[in-house]
Structure 1
């Protein structure tokens, strides 16, 4: 294959995806060096360590979640970021909150800014939904699990955030009482949440 046609293939690939990594080129049998060369020439943008995109691409509201899912594919979008995704908060987090297994290696991510919380394997797999954003699969905790996690990690996010999420989610019918109680039981925050749950009904 001629060098020029490989270059054009890489350009077409970058143009067609929201974010691309060197390993994505490898899957197509293309040399990953092209990403570095094209970024040096200003044809594409390097937006983070090992992440490239087409310049001036119209980025959606949740584009940073796409970037993160490429860098930390085993992590789950959690807490404030999950609340924001589900439209259950007035907070606009300046970091992306991710949950990882407490025994897992923590990826080093310089951009976008990330805050990790660790969970047991059981808690990490409870209430996970997969959504497609810009053609990329993103793992996000469902609304009930997100609210329960806000109570569990209230020392990190604040009790006011947990209460707002509970009220917003309940009024928007994002979850049922049974879903909340089931998650609270598994995550061991039933006693903490019980008075607040009783005030809803």
Structure 2
């Protein structure tokens, strides 16, 4: 006996992570028409072009990070976004800041607003951590130390005040040694 169409869609939707792309939905045999039906029925929300989130998924303050990192899977959260997540600045960035390796395709994302920076391919993968943007959903982000070093190196772009504030807050943290070491992890 065949399951009703809605039950089949719910079963297919259940195999996806709470936040997913159209391509991931297709691999789970959810057609674009079915995805549109799920969105119009209020079962999923489109949070960025081609990126959806199940409505029953746990709430998160980092929906914009999830959307951008799914649209640009090779990117790493950097700059003001990384500094804010590491609580090294009080500012709320106006856009999601991501880094990509120099010489690769530069993503064009209009929503959520995104700032893309290209980093040298040799240093791009230094000091990448995983940040839990929502329960069970992680995005790549540069470490606190790497973020401060980048802010100081690019303080003309970041602003001298922001870079020095991030450095000062990093150094005042309990256990900060004043030296920065990068792991070769990814």
Same fold flag (TM > 0.5): yes
Give the aligned partner of residue 107 of structure 1: 107
Is the 1:76–1:140 contact (alpha carbons within 8 Å) kept by the matching residues of 2? yes
Equivalent pairs counted in the alignment come to 180
| Deviant stretches of 4+, over 6 Å | none
Taking structure 2 as the reference length, what is the TM-score of the superposition? 0.84
Unaligned runs of 5+ in 1: 184-201
Q: Quick one: distance in 1 between partners of 2:9 and 2:28?
A: 13
| Deviates further, 1-10 or 90-99 | 1-10
Which 10-residue stretch deviates more, 151-160 or 161-170?
A: 151-160
The residue number in structure 2 matching 1:193 is none
TM-score by length of 1: 0.78
- CA RMSD in angstroms, aligned pairs only: 2.4
Counterpart in 2 of 1:91?
91
Aligned residue number for residue 178 of structure 2: 177
2:76 match: 76
Greater strand fraction, Structure 1 or Structure 2:
2
Aligned to 1:60: 60
Higher helix share: 1
Whether 1:144 and 2:145 are equivalent positions in the alignment is yes
Contact 2:88 2:169 in 1 (8 A): yes
After superposition, what is the alpha-carbon deviation per residue over 1:150-189, rounded to whole angstroms, capped at 9, x for unaligned?
Answer: 1122122101111000000110146433316x79xxxxxx
- Give the direction of change, closer, same or farther, for the CA distance of 1:62–1:113 in structure 2 (3 Å limit): same
